[in-house]
A and B are shown apart, each in its own frame.
Chain A
Amino acid sequence: MGISHLSILGAHPDVEVVGVCDTSKMVNDFLSKHGGFNCFTDFQKMVDEVKPQAVVVAVPTKFHYSVIKYLLEKGISVFAEKPFCLNTAQGEELVALAAKQKVVNQVGYHNKFIGTFGEVKRVINSGALGEIIHFVGESYGPVVIKAKQETWRSDPSEGGGCLLDYASHVIDLLNDLLAPVTKVKGAILQSIYSKNVEDAVYALLQTSSNVSGVLSVNWSDETYRKMSTTVTIVGTKGKIISDANELKVFLKDEDKKIGYSKGWNVKYITDLTEQVEFYLRGEEYSAQLDYFIKAVGGKVPNTINTFQSAWYTDRAIDLIKKSAV
């Protein structure tokens, strides 16, 4: 993952990449020889030597706490990959530290930068759906489709498993669209091909606003070409079904305020996507880093995907784990 962050940052006109740290000599050799980057294998040495204004942390989740803490203590703004931390106590400490140091903090939940999901939020907040009564959050994809794939993804202590890797995206999106998940009424963590981690997560969730819903996530589903996330939000006056490409809204009555007619309305991502300056693998990946850079530069508020919001997701993950035992 780090390599695509670097590519996006390398192409960004407002960013000067002052240092890159990776443990692989092969990666560092390539980046210094072909890209002219200043490479390190020890991140503390890098930070002390090049004194960056901001750091993007794309390392296995188990290292997030120690790396981010070091950076925050030095007053450096941080963009970290998701999920935030492996336990809620560590996350809580970092949230407080980031606030104390007054630095920009962001976590890479990229769904928040996808146009269709942004529109879902706009429709919900407008009240057009009436009272929200139920939700379904789903995500399916072909990550582990046979036995014997032992990587960090299969090690729960490194942040592996479908719950941390895949389901976290859906939970975070639901948290943002509705309200943070604060209760888990039942959960199943199911191994299909993996020995040490779950390949599927099914759970009954409830938000702090007392809306309940279903989470269904499976990363061993090869009928999907790539990760596909869908949310369904049911209200008393309408319903939304949206994935990253297509948004379908059903309203009982026309809502002129938000420009939706009675019955089904369909919108596509092409109508809802803002252009980015440099595209690598989806507008959302460029857009989230661009947002972070703008926040560091003081041009936008640091309100999307903060450590705090990512911590709510960590907490829901924790509740699911406890409920599944």
Chain B
Amino acid sequence: MERILFGDNQFFAVNHISDEKSRAQSIKFREDSAIIKTLDEARAVGVNTFMCTTHDRIARICDVIRKDPEKYKDFKIYPCMPYAHKYANAVTELGIAGTIKQYVPGNLVGTMFKGGMAYLSKDFHSIMELLIDAEMKMFKGVNTPVVFLQNVITDLFLGLRAYDILIGFHDYVKKKYNAEAGFITMNMPKLLDVLEQGGIQNPIICSSINKVGFRMSGGVEIYEETLRTRKLRAIAMQVLGGGAIHPKEALEYVCGLPNIESILFGASSKANIENTVETIHHFDELKQA
């Protein structure tokens, strides 16, 4: 994985500290072209990996990328699935069975419903695989070397102790897409235990890692300890603590931690992208020196 990954929250009006800022972002990125422009600005400073939710709009961004293979030859997307709101809205409207019907592609659905709900309940792994395929469809022809499970799902299964589902996700992504599985979580140390016990060595785990301990369940100490002593490929997200920490101080902290393979960040303006990238490089060089 590259040292710096570009995130997508700003494109979809996700802002952890201000509804006003989120509204402003929603206006700025109303057109897909504004998203492409920002991605190009990130590419211009060497950030070639875009980590994004499988939002409907991403399908259109993928169209743009496919149309210009030369321009985007080094460009990678790390899909993060599922786009939970899509399913949550569908469940409200159609119910669980209706949602599966709507999103699980192909004739299998017909077969499953003919077999009744008993079939559905007995083979959750097959349903999951169909849902992964459905989410991956939009990325056909785009380079997706790592595929992530969103934290809301990772952590839900973690709490439900449905550990085999997490392992199943890992295995299927590898088998079907020849990609590595990644897990986004707000409970990194706990997840690492579970993945290791399930036989996944050195897993890719993306979690909040920041100086103030924001969304670091159990506290900063256990995260630092885990990074120091355990084997994982860590991606730090929410490094600014949702905006609570001064960017320079925030990045100095994260760059100084051991075992962080990549840093995920999102920004809307060219200046912010350039500053962040420059600052990360600066602290990385200091560390090496």
- By a beta-carbon cutoff of 8 Å, the part of chain A in contact with chain B is 3-4, 6-11, 24-26, 29-31, 33-37, 143, 149, 151, 153, 223-226, 228, 243, 245-246, 268-271, 273, 275-281
- The distance in angstroms between the C-alpha atoms of A29 and B15, with both chains bound, is 37
Partner of A3, one of B15, B121, B156, B216: B156
25 contacts between A and B (CB under 8 A): A4-B156, A7-B155, A7-B157, A10-B160, A11-B187, A25-B117, A25-B121, A30-B124, A31-B160, A34-B157, A34-B162, A35-B161, A151-B93, A225-B26, A245-B17, A246-B20, A269-B16, A270-B243, A271-B244, A273-B214, A275-B213, A275-B218, A275-B219, A279-B155, A280-B159
- The distance in angstroms between the C-alpha atoms of A7 and B161, with both chains bound, is 8
Chain A residues with Cβ below 8 Å from B243 are 268, 270
- The distance in angstroms between the C-alpha atoms of A255 and B180, with both chains bound, is 55
Partner of A246, one of B13, B19, B93, B152: B19
Chain B residues with Cβ below 8 Å from A278 are 155, 159, 187, 190, 217
Task: Count contacts between A and B, CB distance < 8 Å.
Answer: 117
Contact A29 B160 (CB under 8 A): no
In addition to A246-B17, A268-B244, 5 A-B residue pairs with Cβ atoms within 8 Å of each other are A10-B160, A35-B162, A223-B23, A277-B217, A278-B190
Partner of A143, one of B92, B212, B218: B92
Partner of A243, one of B19, B85, B216: B19
- By a beta-carbon cutoff of 8 Å, the part of chain B in contact with chain A is 12-20, 22-23, 26, 85, 92-93, 95-96, 117-118, 120-122, 124, 152, 155-162, 164-165, 186-187, 190, 212-219, 241-244
Least Cβ distance of B107 to chain A in Å?
Answer: 21
Least Cβ distance of B40 to chain A in Å?
Answer: 26
Select the residue from A3, A11, A36 with max chain B CB neighbours within 10 A: A11
Chain B residues with Cβ below 8 Å from A26 are 96, 117, 120-121
- The distance in angstroms between the C-alpha atoms of A277 and B190, with both chains bound, is 10
Chain A residues with Cβ below 8 Å from B165 are 34
- The distance in angstroms between the C-alpha atoms of A83 and B33, with both chains bound, is 44
Chain B residues with Cβ below 8 Å from A29 are 121-122
Contact B190 A7 (CB under 8 A): no
Chain A residues with Cβ below 8 Å from B158 are 7, 11
Chain B residues with Cβ below 8 Å from A245 are 15-19
- The distance in angstroms between the C-alpha atoms of A273 and B92, with both chains bound, is 30
- The distance in angstroms between the C-alpha atoms of A222 and B242, with both chains bound, is 24
Q: Report if A270-B216 is in contact (Cβ < 8 Å); known contacts: A35-B161, A225-B22.
A: no
Chain A residues with Cβ below 8 Å from B159 are 4, 6-11, 278, 280
Select the residue from B117, B152, B155, B243 with max chain A CB neighbours within 10 A: B155
Contact A225 B155 (CB under 8 A): no
Task: Closest A residue to B155 by CB, please name it.
Answer: A280
Contact B217 A276 (CB under 8 A): yes
- The distance in angstroms between the C-alpha atoms of A223 and B27, with both chains bound, is 11
Task: Closest A residue to B238 by CB, please name it.
Answer: A270
Contact B122 A270 (CB under 8 A): no
Contact B22 A270 (CB under 8 A): no
- The distance in angstroms between the C-alpha atoms of A169 and B137, with both chains bound, is 39
Least Cβ distance of A224 to chain B in Å?
Answer: 8
Least Cβ distance of B15 to chain A in Å?
Answer: 8
- The distance in angstroms between the C-alpha atoms of A225 and B121, with both chains bound, is 32
Select the residue from B118, B162, B164 with max chain A CB neighbours within 10 A: B162
Q: Report if A7-B219 is in contact (Cβ < 8 Å); known contacts: A25-B121, A268-B242.
A: no
Q: Report if A30-B18 is in contact (Cβ < 8 Å); known contacts: A7-B156, A278-B187.
A: no
Chain A residues with Cβ below 8 Å from B217 are 275-279
Least Cβ distance of B224 to chain A in Å?
Answer: 14
Task: Closest B residue to A36 by CB, please name it.
Answer: B161
Q: Report if A279-B187 is in contact (Cβ < 8 Å); known contacts: A30-B124, A225-B13, A270-B243.
A: yes
Select the residue from B18, B159, B213 with max chain A CB neighbours within 10 A: B159
Chain A residues with Cβ below 8 Å from B13 are 225
